[in-house]
Amino acid sequence: MYCNYCGKVIQDDASHCAYCGKRIGGIVSRKRLVRPRSGRKIAGVCLGVAEYFDLDVTLVRVVWLIVALLPPTIGLLAYLIAWIVMPEEPEPVSAPLAERAPNV
């Protein structure tokens, strides 16, 4: 495919143009608000939010904790809601069961 910004040929699965560094089309790798499976502390809510907004996860955790612990503890409620609402990151595709060779 071609970069929309500089017109150079780039890898089909590239998320950034290697030449001008622009992020390629929101369609190809649209960011989703998910709870990552690796690197999480509790449910991965802070990590997911941090990745979605390109923030430092530590900053998100600190701010969220402060909001959670101060009355009226809205942060705690928000965390629980986010935990329920945010989908988990899809499982990494390793060995699809459907493609197993049938026993002969």
Q: Which residues bind Zn ion (CB under 5 A)?
A: 3, 5-6, 17, 19-20
When the beta carbons of 3 and 60 are compared against Zn ion, the nearer one is 3
Least Å distance, CB 65 to Zn ion, is 40
| CA 23 – CA 28 distance, rounded (Å) | 10
Least Å distance, CB 40 to Zn ion, is 34
Least Å distance, CB 51 to Zn ion, is 23
When the beta carbons of 19 and 83 are compared against Zn ion, the nearer one is 19
| CA 75 – CA 13 distance, rounded (Å) | 37
When the beta carbons of 3 and 49 are compared against Zn ion, the nearer one is 3
Strand partners, 23: 16
Give me the helices (H) in 1-104, please: 45-52, 57-69, 74-85
CA atoms within 13 A on the CB side of 72: 0
Least Å distance, CB 23 to Zn ion, is 10
When the beta carbons of 1 and 66 are compared against Zn ion, the nearer one is 1
Tell me the chain's radius of gyration from C-alpha atoms.
19
